[in-house]
Amino acid sequence: MNPFRRVLAAAGVLTVLAAGGCGLVSATAEPVATEGAGLDLTGAVTVDESLRALLPQSARDRGFIRLVTDSSYAPMEYFAADGRTIIGFEPDLAAALGAVLGIRLEMRFGDFASALDEVSKGTYDGVLSSMTDTADREKKVDFVNYFATGSSILVQRGNPKRITGMAGLCGYSVAAELGTVQEEMLRAGQAKCGARPMTLVVGRTGADAVLQLRTGRATALLLDFPPATALVTDPLTNAYYELASSEQYRPGIYGIGVAKDNTALRDALRAALDRLIKTGTYGELLQRWSLTSGAVAEATVNAGD
């Protein structure tokens, strides 16, 4: 992809986030285009027929794999300025995986909270949406692990309430996205607040959760480190937000979630990811999106806690 075009796309979506994020939300379940097909990868990505043969016959006959995502989580996955094209590290990764497997990986917008249930029902073949691999989630799907990170506390610029850690969230309204590990962490934290209760404000999407902080409905926002860092470093949004501290809470590992009875797809994706890691293409994609700190050394399955 033309780097200048990427910057323009990122600028468009972050402007919407700064203004509240409402323009990012769409109810469509139709396929949404990604820009991955235009990637100019340094490491040549060619079809590996032996890995393609691992794919379920139904996927090969259909010609594409459907992955559900909540596209409001820059720089991982988000809508470009056209409001339709999904860009980010994960769409780029999906395109590279597809190039290895000789099949198109489609990113389809959907609700994060219901994504695993939809995969289990067969509505989608998998979920690729910055989803942390946890023991509870592994009861529903298998995960092909591809990125490691933790959670950060985001506050308004100036940190008016002087929040420095999780304990400091007691007594305030704190936002999180529905169905995330951050929501789970905050609900557990509520029980420790005693006489200074914490009010949890839940957004349906990542953009909705950011909106709560931007408008002052929440004093803080708990979200993954990459999108938190993007908001505090991008010139279009850094005047509004800052990190409460440099600490990352509850480190975990992201995974592509695949139905437990779809072991063929799981194994094909793991093998394709392993090839991308070994050839350096994976590292290049991380570098393009300033995400090298989250690199994994090998492709694993169900490596979460």
Q: What's the confidence (pLDDT) of residue 123?
A: 97
- The SS3 call for residue 107 is strand
Quick one: tokens of 13? Answer: 């979506």
SS (H, E, C) 199-212: EEEEECCHHHHHHH
How does pLDDT run along the chain (305 residues), one tens digit per residue? 333 233 333 333 333 333 333 322 222 334 444 444 445 554 568 899 999 999 999 999 999 999 999 999 999 999 999 999 999 999 999 999 999 999 999 999 999 999 999 999 999 999 999 999 999 999 999 999 999 999 999 999 999 999 999 999 999 999 999 999 999 999 999 999 999 999 999 999 999 999 999 999 999 999 999 999 999 999 999 999 999 999 999 999 999 999 999 999 999 999 999 999 999 999 999 999 999 999 999 999 999 98
- R_g over Cα of the chain: 19
Q: In angstroms, what CA-CA distances link 294 with 14, 71, 78, 265?
A: 22, 20, 19, 24
Q: What's the confidence (pLDDT) of residue 96?
A: 96
Quick one: tokens of 253? Answer: 């590992």
Q: What's the confidence (pLDDT) of residue 147?
A: 98
The backbone torsions φ and ψ at residue 74, rounded to the nearest 5 degrees and listed phi first, read -60, 140
Q: What's the confidence (pLDDT) of residue 45?
A: 85
Q: What's the confidence (pLDDT) of residue 35?
A: 42
Q: Please, which residues bridge with residue 249 across strands?
A: 151
Q: What's the confidence (pLDDT) of residue 42?
A: 44
Structural domains of the chain ordered from first start: 49-148+253-301 (3.40.190.10), 150-250 (3.40.190.10)
Q: What's the confidence (pLDDT) of residue 195?
A: 95
Quick one: tokens of 174? Answer: 């704190």
Q: What's the confidence (pLDDT) of residue 24?
A: 28
Q: What's the confidence (pLDDT) of residue 39?
A: 54
Residues 6+ apart with CB under 8 A from 2: none
Cα 249 from Cα 151, distance rounded (Å): 5
State the distance between the two ends of the chain, measured CA to CA, in whole angstroms.
36
Q: In angstroms, what CA-CA distances link 53 with 2, 25, 142, 146?
A: 33, 37, 20, 22
